[in-house]
Structure 1
C-alpha cells in the first residue's frame, strides 16, 4: 500500500502533459512523469519516493511508437521491454532487455522507465550508447531532438519539467554484429553482477557496461584499449580493468573482486565472438 495520496493524470498529447505539469507546479505540487510506473509503486510503498501529482505518458501516441521511419528506428519511451523483444527491430537491444527481470515484469517495465531508473543498472541504455542514439524530449514551449549523451551522464539529467518522448537510432546500427552478456550471482533472473553489450562497427568493437560501477557507461578510453591490436588479449583485459571510470561496486549481490573476475571473463567472450567477425 502507498501511504500517501496523489493525483493521477493520463494526458493524450504532449501539450496536455506539459500543461498539467505547469498547472500542478504553480500550486507548489511535487510532480513526476512516468512511463511505466513499476518503480514509482515499488519505491512509494517503502516511502523512498513521493509525489503529489503523477503524469502518466503512456496515453501519448508519440510515446508508443516502435517502428522504422526514414532510415531511423523510433522507439517511444512508453514501449514495454517485452514489446522490444517481440518486435526485435534492434537485436542488440532486444537481447539486452530480454535479460532484465522476468517476463511478467517486462510487460510493465518500459524502456523510458528503465533508462530513468533510480537503480544503478539501467541496462536498457547500453545499446543506445553504443549506437550514438538521439532522443526526443519535451518541455514547456518546445520539443527537440538532442544527442543521448547530452542528457545521459551516468544517469538521465533532464531539466525539471522535461520528459523523454522517444529514442532514435540510425538504422545503419541495427543489424551490426553484436553481443549481449549478463551474469548474475545465482539465477538468470536477478540484478546483474555485470552486463556487457558490444557492437562491431567498421571493424571497431564498441562496448558498454552495467553493474560493474555504480552507473552504466561507455568509455572511449576503454574502447581504444579493446581495439589496440599491438597488445595481446591478456594485456588488453588487464589494462581495461585498470582504466574503469570509477571503483567497482562491492555490495550484497557480489564483491568487487568477483565483479572484476566476471568482467575479465566477459571480455574474453567478447574478443572471441566479435574479433572473429572482423
Structure 2
C-alpha cells in the first residue's frame, strides 16, 4: 500500500497536462506525471517516491498513437510494452521488450515509463540510441521534436514540467541488420547482468549497453575500436572495453569482473554475427 495521500488528475490534452503541472507545482504539490504508474506503486510502497499530485497521461490521445504513417513508425509513450510488441511495428525494439521483466509486468510498463525509469536498465533506450529515432516532448511552450540520441544522457533529459509524448522511428530503420542479446546470471526473468544491442550500418558496427554501468549508453570511442580491422577481433574487443565510460556495476547479480567476462563473450558473438557471411 502507498503510505502517502495524493490528488489525482487525468487531463485530456497536452496543453491541459502541462498547464496543470505548472499550477500544481506552484501550489507546492510536487506533481508527477505517470502512465503505467508501476514505479509509483513499487517505490511508493517503500517510501522511495512521493508526490502530492499525480497527473495521469492515459487520457491524452497523442500518447497512445501506435502506427506507421508511410514514412515513420509512431510509438505513443503511454502504450504498454506488450501493446507495442504485439503491434509488431519495430522488430528491433520488440526484441528488447520481450526480455524486460515478465509478461504481467510488461502489460503495465509503458514505453515512456521505461525510458524515464529510476531503475538503471531502461533497455528500450538501446534500439533508439542505435537508430535515427526522435522524441516528441511536451512542454509549457508546446510540442518539440528532438533526436533521441541528443535527449538521452543515461536517461531522458526532460526539463521540469515536460513529458514524453511519442517516439518516432523512420521506417527505413527496419532494413538495418541488428542484434540484441541479454545475459542473466540465472532465471529467465531475473535482473540482467548485461544487455547488448548492435546494428551494422554502412559497414560499421554500432553498439549500446544496459546493465554494464549505472545507466544505458552508447560510446563512439568503443565503436571506433570495434571497427578497427587492423586489429584482431580479440584486440578490438579488449581496446573497446578499456573505453567503457563509467565504473562497471558490481552488485549482488554479478561482480564487475564477471560482467567484464560476459561482455567479452557477448561482443565476440555480436561481431561474429554482424560481420559473418550475409552481413558483409
Report TM bin, short chain.
Answer: over 0.9
For normalisation by structure 1, the TM-score amounts to 0.97
> Which of 65-74 and 154-163 deviates more?
65-74
**Distance in 2 of aligned mates of 1:274 and 1:85:** 24
Preserved contact between residue 193 and residue 212 of structure 1 (Cα < 8 Å): yes
Please give the alpha-carbon distance, in whole angstroms, between the structure 2 residues aligned to 1:148 and 1:42.
Answer: 27
Q: 2:26 corresponds to which residue?
A: 26
Pairwise CA RMSD of aligned residues? 1.0
Q: Structure 2 CA distance, aligned partners of 1:39 and 1:24?
A: 21
Q: TM-score, normalised by structure 2?
A: 0.97
Matched with 1:80 is: 80
Distance 1:142 1:135 in 2: 14
Paired with 1:175 and 1:54, the residues of 2 have a C-alpha distance of 40
Q: Which residue of 1 aligns with 2:16?
A: 16
Counterparts of residues 115-194 of structure 1 (less than 5 Å) = 115-194=115-194
For residues 32-71 of structure 1, what are the structure 2 equivalents within 5 Å? 32-71=32-71
Q: Is the CA contact 1:135–1:146 (under 8 Å) kept in the aligned structure 2? A: yes
* 1:50-90 deviation digits (Å, cap 9, x = unpaired): 00011111221111111112411111111111112212211
Deviations, residues 149-202 of structure 1 (Å, cap 9, x unaligned): 332111122110000101111111123211110011111102110000111112
3-state DSSP of counterpart to 2:160: coil
Displacement of 1:24 in angstroms is 1.0
Q: Which residue of 2 aligns with 1:218?
A: 218
Gaps of 5+ in 1: none
What residue number does 2:3 align with?
3
Secondary structure of 2:146's partner? strand
Q: For the Cα contact (< 8 Å) 2:15–2:142, is it kept in 1?
A: no
Return the offset for 1:27: 1.2
